[in-house]
Structure 1
Amino acid sequence: MSDTPTRRPARRGGRPGRGGTGPRATFGQLLPYIFEQRGTLAFVIVLSVLGAAATLAQPLLVSQVITIVGESKPLGLLVWLLVGLVVVSGVISGYQHYLLQRMGEGVVLSSRRRLIARILNLPISEFDRRRTGDLVSRVGSDTTLLRAVLTQGLVEAIGGSLTFMGALIAMFLLDPVLLGLTVLVIAVSVVAVVSLAGRIRAASAEAQKRVGDLAASVERAISSIRTVRASNATEREAAAVAENAQGAWRMGITVAKVSALVVPVAGVAMQVSFLVVLGIGGARVASGDITIANLVAFIIFLFMMIMPLGQAFGAISAVNQALGALGRIQEIIALPTENQFDRSVLPATTLAASAVPGAASVEFAEVHFTYRSTVTVEGVDGEGSTESIVETPVLHGVSFTAEHGTRIALVGPSGAGKSTTLNLIERFYDPDSGVIRMDGVDIRALERTELRAQLGYVEQDAPVLAGTLRDNLRLNAPDATDAECSAVLHAVNLSEVLERDPAGLDAEVGENGIMLSGGEKQRLAIARALVAAPPILLLDESTSSLDGANERMMREAIDAVATDRTLIVIAHRLSTVVDSDKIVVFEHGRIVGEGTHAELIESTPLYRNLAEHQLLT
């Protein structure tokens, strides 16, 4: 069994901690995503200027039409010019809408690419403490909210601001008194919207956090559906997921309530402004301070000013919701990648040519390692939460050497540190102290890509990826030929799998390899490591799911491939151990014995006891 401690448990139901929404993003962090579309953005702004000009010209033409009609003069081409401006304004608006949608999709694509690249390069420790569903939610729903920045107000508000300013200037020229009263009403509405902006951002961030909790609970239930069904736990799991869905719904309602306060503000401002202009303006027409044509033009400009104001209010709501989601995205983007996480001060180097062609040596020298996990403790009734770091020491001064071209077996009770040893060789983690060397080179001085090119690793319960047989085999060797793929499948006794489907290497294995048996999945995982023929093979209980006949065939296949290669295997059965060049016995993170099978039977009581029971893990 794996000796990797269980990390932060998935929160089921209840209310997430108040501090769990992650850092809030700033508008400055949003700008790089927008400016990636700067070419289209510039064109949209030009269209906005043209659209604003066409829109602002219309009230002036209407005023001219009213004046000419009042004087009983012919309109001539004035009406057709007005119609033309309306059509041009509509065409510009439609094309601008398309460009905004396209820009929004571009922003979403860019953010998803950046986020996916960062997630897949995070240190393994981040995956230990984060829930898969929450990470998926950030790629899906959080990035989608960035689209709203462009499609629901921001750029339209930029164009609308031109209309707003143009209308403001025209209204000042028509009647400064009416304009002053209008601005007073609008100022009050602006203050109200700005005061709500912070609440929208906080509520949106919490809502996205709840969606992440929901996605995590759904992923947990679906990925374990067979166990859930077999345990008669379907209804309990459904209730737990529904509780998370309820939490997401509640926060969605909160966002809707706060956002809904913004919507009537623009409407009320428009109605009050209209009534003020209509009442005071009518009195000023009666007194001769303004003509009825100018009053009509003023009212039209008022509507043109209120409309972009509504767009600005909508933009404030959309931007603050996007900033809440962007905070969750930036939380992941800001995390260091695996290579940045603990970049060694050791000078970069490369592996020297091995003394044994195709083989390499591995040496552990006084290696200590401790797992550090984050534990979340909920407050009373789910209110608030605190996080603490829990340290679990695993390895204590481990030293051993796997010489060139030898077979080393690691044995010991569950939790003794065997799987951790392989994880350290792969540099999923780095030791707290001590050194791990490959061919005499500290592996921290190697690029992880170069290091892992030397390793073939089959983890315990190695996953089979959804896709075809070929997809799985080429994961570690993308240039492998069909002949090489077929040969390795035959070598691990998977000929039947290859032949039972007419598609051959194109046969689908299903989600999590559901089309394969447990033993077939394990053999396919081993074949995936063997097809690249690396200098070092790391096998974590790789034959534990095989019956006797298949285990024998598998050992023969591994024997053939392991020739002139270094093999480190975590043993499950005595038959896997007895032929090893050296056996290393682990207990409680320490090495308590080292030698051949015959030597350890005599010298190490723990090994003798395990061997007597035929169970070495």
Structure 2
Amino acid sequence: MSSPSARPARRFGRPVDDGPRATFRQLLPYLLEHRRVLGWVIVISVLGAGASLAQPLLVSQVITVVEDDGDLGPLVALLVALVVVGALLSGFGHYLLQRTGEGVVLSSRRALVRRMLHLPISEFDQRRTGDLVSRVGSDTTLLRAVLTQGLVEAIGGSLTFVGALIAMIIIDPVLLGLTVLVIAVSVVTVVLLSQRIRIASRKAQEKVGDLAAAVERSISSVRTVRAANATEREFAVVEQNAVGAWEQGIKVAKISALVVPISSIALQVSFLVVLGVGGFRVASGVIGVADLVAFILFLFLLIGPLGQAFGAITSVNAALGALGRIQEIIGLPSESEGDADVVPAASTASRAAVEFDDVHFRYPEAAHRTEEEKVIAEVVGEHPRDKTVLAGVSFSVPVGSRTALVGPSGAGKSTVLSLIERFYDPTAGVIRMGGDDIRGLERTELRSRIGYVEQDAPVLAGTLRDNLLLGTPGATDEQCVAVLRSVNLDEVLDRDERGLDAQVGEDGVMLSGGERQRLAIARALLAAPPILLLDESTSSLDGVNEQRMREAIDAVAEDRTLIVIAHRLSTVVDSDQIVVLDHGRVVGVGTHSELVVSTPLYRELAKHQLLV
């Protein structure tokens, strides 16, 4: 039995580990994508190294010429030219590095966002939006530091280092040996610190992700927070995360700060050793004054690249910590990655628009949720993601019919629509469309046949036109206006002189709940797909607008199949068939009049709504 001290520490109810770790090999593709520019940077670095190495030799020559009373003009002119050329090369190389660094950030963001937008829906169920946003914004930015804070410059610097080392060996091997001894101690210390820097940096980025998630939650729910008088409590939660990010940032700063004095001490001690021992050797006649001055200048050229190397170690380890979080998402399988291995069930002779055949489903377990988050999910009534939601569901939806799904909350109605859209695949059983297993269809092809209006009627930030064209980018303004008027959004269209270019605000905040719902329905109606899935599509509407909406849906429903979820039975009593769900099972299928007689649960629901 392990002792308590052997158990991993816990944070927010889960073990703390070192998290995802990236390797330098995983970083290389981002760098090699810009290999042409980096090649020019290396060439410039080599030229700059040559200019730097020539300067001590020229200074030595100047001193010798002064001792011999020679002409200094040509040497001084050449020395000034080398200094100017070196500065120009350094500036141009810095620009190329900054530009390439931005390119690395862009390519990493492209790869990360593309992967995020293709992840299975279950991943979004389990992860916090703010943390995902932080990976795109904050983590990718750290990759820039790999280039702009020393890695590629260290390549050119290494040439300067080697050149200076060779020159110092030629001038005085004894002085070089003492210098290398001091430098070796500092190098070993920095290497030992590098691992701690990477771990601390990754944890700092995780804290930033926690902060982003907390801020995103507070801002997206600001009206609820204000109405509950919970502003200060919510601020305390955000502040706690902000302090956590600050504390972890301070830890990174403390570890990284050790690198600076180590480099400074190495330079100072090396300089003092060279000055003291070198002065003694000049006095002894072993070397001349010109050689000592050249050796000291080469010493500075030796220490400079060493500082670049220390900076490169720090920035690369920080970047690898962030890259680990990026690669964690990029390494996840996409929504359709396993489709090639799926063997669809055999087609049947049924021509039903949609058919459920003994479908079972349970949500994937929320592996990324903490214990506290799972408890909160239970309290607020979220689906327990580790329990069966559908058990042996079977029903058929004829082409061109209207089918309603009814039942108490948590019966599995919305899950049925999610399975038709292939947001998830059944745990067992088959869902068919036109007799074919929908797993045999390309997801884009499947979804092009379906219009889906979600329960909370999401509206995207932007304009009325942006929202309408989301699924139908080729629609004309005339079509957009017509569909808005068909769902009784004339007032929204006319109250702003910009018309279709009127802004709707973040999450449609500038629209009422009913207007948001009607806009979401208009978006689906504009696409006019063969199948419409409407999840509580009239729940936020008053009587007048509900009637207008039903008329619009009736008009577009001709020759189309509708599957509608409704709690208000009055909106679906005239459906061709009604499927009654309870605890993930079908307990009745029929018309309103048939179900009132045959199905006790439906009769009870109808009685409560005064329909019997």
1:230 aligns with 2:227: yes
1:364 aligns with 2:342: no
Shift of 1:138: 0.1
Aligned partner of 2:558 among 554, 563, 581? 563
Shift of 1:71: 1.2
With CA pairs under 8 Å and 6+ residues apart, which has the higher RCO, 1 or 2?
1
Q: Is the 8 A contact 2:468 2:480 kept in 1?
A: yes
Shift of 1:350: 12
1:88-136 CA deviation, whole Å, 9 max, x = no partner? 0000000111111001000000000110000011000000000000000
1:491 aligns with 2:486: yes
CA distance, structure 2, for counterparts of residue 490 and residue 70 of structure 1: 96
1:394 aligns with 2:389: yes
Aligned partner of 2:404 among 409, 418, 421? 409
| Corresponding residue of 2:7 | none
| Corresponding residue of 1:99 | 96
Relative to structure 1, the CA distance from residue 584 to residue 128 in structure 2 (aligned partners, 3 Å threshold; closer, same or farther) is: same
Match of 2:527, SS state, is coil
Match of 1:200, SS state, is helix
Instruction: Return 213-222 or 503-512, whichever deviates more.
Output: 503-512
Shift of 1:496: 1.3
Relative to structure 1, the CA distance from residue 419 to residue 401 in structure 2 (aligned partners, 3 Å threshold; closer, same or farther) is: same
CA distance, structure 1, for counterparts of residue 39 and residue 107 of structure 2: 18
Aligned partner of 1:512 among 504, 507, 513? 507
Q: Is the 8 A contact 2:581 2:587 kept in 1?
A: yes
The count of corresponding residues between Structure 1 and Structure 2 is 590
The unaligned stretches of length 5 or more in structure 1 are 1-12, 380-388
State the one-letter code of the partner of 1:181.
L
Aligned identity (percent) is 73
Shift of 1:239: 0.5
Superposition CA RMSD, Å: 2.0
State the one-letter code of the partner of 1:104.
G
The unaligned stretches of length 5 or more in structure 2 are 1-9, 374-383
Which residues in structure 2 correspond to 1:169-248 (within 5 Å)? 169-248=166-245
1:426 aligns with 2:421: yes
Which residues in structure 2 correspond to 1:43-58 (within 5 Å)? 43-58=40-55
CA distance, structure 2, for counterparts of residue 528 and residue 186 of structure 1: 68
Q: Is the 8 A contact 1:17 1:378 kept in 2?
A: no
CA distance, structure 2, for counterparts of residue 577 and residue 528 of structure 1: 22
CA distance, structure 2, for counterparts of residue 273 and residue 615 of structure 1: 93
1:377 aligns with 2:374: no
Q: Is the 8 A contact 1:344 1:444 kept in 2?
A: no
| Corresponding residue of 1:114 | 111
| Corresponding residue of 1:471 | 466
| Corresponding residue of 1:553 | 548
Shift of 1:76: 3.0
Shift of 1:57: 0.1
1:360-389 CA deviation, whole Å, 9 max, x = no partner? 61000000000122342379xxxxxxxxx9
Aligned partner of 2:583 among 584, 588, 591? 588
Match of 1:25, SS state, is coil
Q: Is the 8 A contact 1:362 1:436 kept in 2?
A: yes
Match of 1:516, SS state, is coil
Relative to structure 1, the CA distance from residue 378 to residue 185 in structure 2 (aligned partners, 3 Å threshold; closer, same or farther) is: farther
Match of 1:531, SS state, is helix
1:531-575 CA deviation, whole Å, 9 max, x = no partner? 000000000000000001100110000001011111000012122
Q: Is the 8 A contact 2:347 2:435 kept in 1?
A: no
| Corresponding residue of 2:250 | 253
| Corresponding residue of 1:24 | 21
Match of 2:370, SS state, is strand
Match of 2:394, SS state, is strand
| Corresponding residue of 1:303 | 300
1:87 aligns with 2:84: yes
Relative to structure 1, the CA distance from residue 575 to residue 348 in structure 2 (aligned partners, 3 Å threshold; closer, same or farther) is: closer
Relative to structure 1, the CA distance from residue 304 to residue 18 in structure 2 (aligned partners, 3 Å threshold; closer, same or farther) is: farther
State the one-letter code of the partner of 2:35.
R
What's the TM-score once normalised by structure 2's chain length? Answer: 0.94
| Corresponding residue of 1:147 | 144
Shift of 1:72: 1.2
Relative to structure 1, the CA distance from residue 562 to residue 50 in structure 2 (aligned partners, 3 Å threshold; closer, same or farther) is: same
CA distance, structure 2, for counterparts of residue 564 and residue 344 of structure 1: 35
1:521 aligns with 2:513: no
| Corresponding residue of 2:318 | 321
CA distance, structure 2, for counterparts of residue 228 and residue 153 of structure 1: 46
| Corresponding residue of 1:39 | 36
